[in-house]
Amino acid sequence: MVIARQPFGQTGHLSTRTIFGGAALGRVTQAEADRTLEVLFKCGINHIDTAPGYGESELRIGGWMPSYRGEFFLATKTSERTRQGARDQIQRSLERLRVAQVDLIQLHNLTDQQEWEVAMGPGGALEAAVEAREQGLVRFIGVTGHGVSAPMMHRRSLERYGFDSVLLPCNYPMWQNAGYAADFAALLALCQERKVAVQTIKSLARGPWGEKQRTHATWYDALSEQASIDLAVHWVLGQPSVFLNTCADTGLLPMVLDAASRFQAGAAPTGREMTDLVSREGMTPLFA
């Protein structure tokens, strides 16, 4: 299996269009994590995205770094909003990941208005990220977000600071929200103009778990049949220039990578195929 690569914004790195979502390692043993590493190597994945809030993920990835640091563009996040809190969390992530530098630090889930003002203002987390870059602890700075306000808030963030990447949800059910689809399109146009990398999450979301029995490690109910995963993955990769971050479940990972390896540019699923998928799988938007 071979996953296509493209420039990750202006970083100079050619990242696989499918990025490994480190949340999948949040509750696994090191042995299980090492088996996942074999899957990543088999598909040529060269970009890892994790966060301090993903359970043991940073520690599991840290087990790989002494031998394989040069194989991956390594990204983590800070959920802290103050300069001191973010500074401390960045340092802890470096220790847990067993590296002297990460390639990308991201301000995590920055969509709440009040939290945004703190993080982006004097004494905020952005100052810590810039300071870390000046010290050589990180190379690039990004911002992430969940929910329907994410694209609008990312545009606001980009007007305040020249972030290198953004990350936000992207799946067909969310596109049925006309406002979200329009906001995403506006953000994508701005990012293409400024050469900002666009990472997407929640590609396999079927809907909230609700009262269903949880069958996967994902925090949402996820598609699990290969044919359905193919459509969901191919639809996201059919969006111009975006990256797809894999879901938080090691069992689904090989299926996502298999789907991504078979994606052909210009051959995204049709609207009819996607509406049939939504109907067949009972898909609903995660966010209203």
Q: Summarize pLDDT for 146-165 with one digit per residue, the tens.
A: 999 999 999 999 999 999 99
- 129-162 CB burial, b ≥16 within 10 A, e <16: beebbeeebbbbbbbbbbbbbbbbbbbbbbeeee
| pLDDT value at residue 238 | 96
Assess whether pLDDT exceeds 80 at residue 1: no
| Angle, helices 178-194/150-160, rounded to nearest 10 degrees | 30
CA separation for the pair 19, 253 (Å, rounded) = 11
In a domain, 287, yes or no: no
Residue 252 lies in a domain: yes
pLDDT of residue 38: 96
CA 153 remoteness from chain centre? 16
Q: What is the pLDDT of residues 219-250, one digit of tens each?
A: 899 999 999 999 999 999 999 899 999 999 99
In tens, the pLDDT along 61-73 reads: 999 999 999 999 9
Q: Are 52 and 89 in contact (CB under 8 A)?
A: yes
Cα separations in angstroms, 208 against 4, 211, 212, 228, 286: 31, 9, 9, 17, 6
Contact 224, 258 (CB under 8 A): no
Token readout for 257 is 């990578």
Confidence check: pLDDT of 265 > 90: no
Give the pLDDT of residue 211. 81
* Structural domain of 147: 5-281
Q: Is residue 288 part of a domain?
A: no
CATH (domain of 135): 3.20.20.100
Which of 125, 56, 130 is CA-nearest to residue 93? 56
- Helix spans in 142-177 (H): 150-160
| CB-count exposure of residue 286 (10 Å: 0-12, 13-18, 19+) | buried
Asked whether residue 201 is assigned to any structural domain, the reply reads: yes
Q: Let me know if residue 113 belongs to a domain.
A: yes
Mean pLDDT across the chain: 96
Backbone φ, ψ for residue 222 (5° rounding) = -110, 150
Residue 199 has pLDDT above 90, yes or no: yes
pLDDT at 215: 85
Judged by DSSP in three states, 249 sits in: coil
Locate 253 and state its tokens: 């990972």
Q: Is residue 28 domain-resident?
A: yes
Query: How many structural domains is the chain composed of?
Result: 1
18 is written with which tokens?
A: 């499918």
Tell me how far apart the alpha carbons of residues 95 and 48 are, in angstroms, rounded to a whole number: 17
Q: Which residue bears the tokens 């051959």?
A: 267
**How does residue 216 score in pLDDT terms, banded at 50, 70 and 90?**
confident
Q: Report the predicted TM-score, pTM, of the whole model to 2 decimal places.
A: 0.97
pLDDT of residue 142: 98
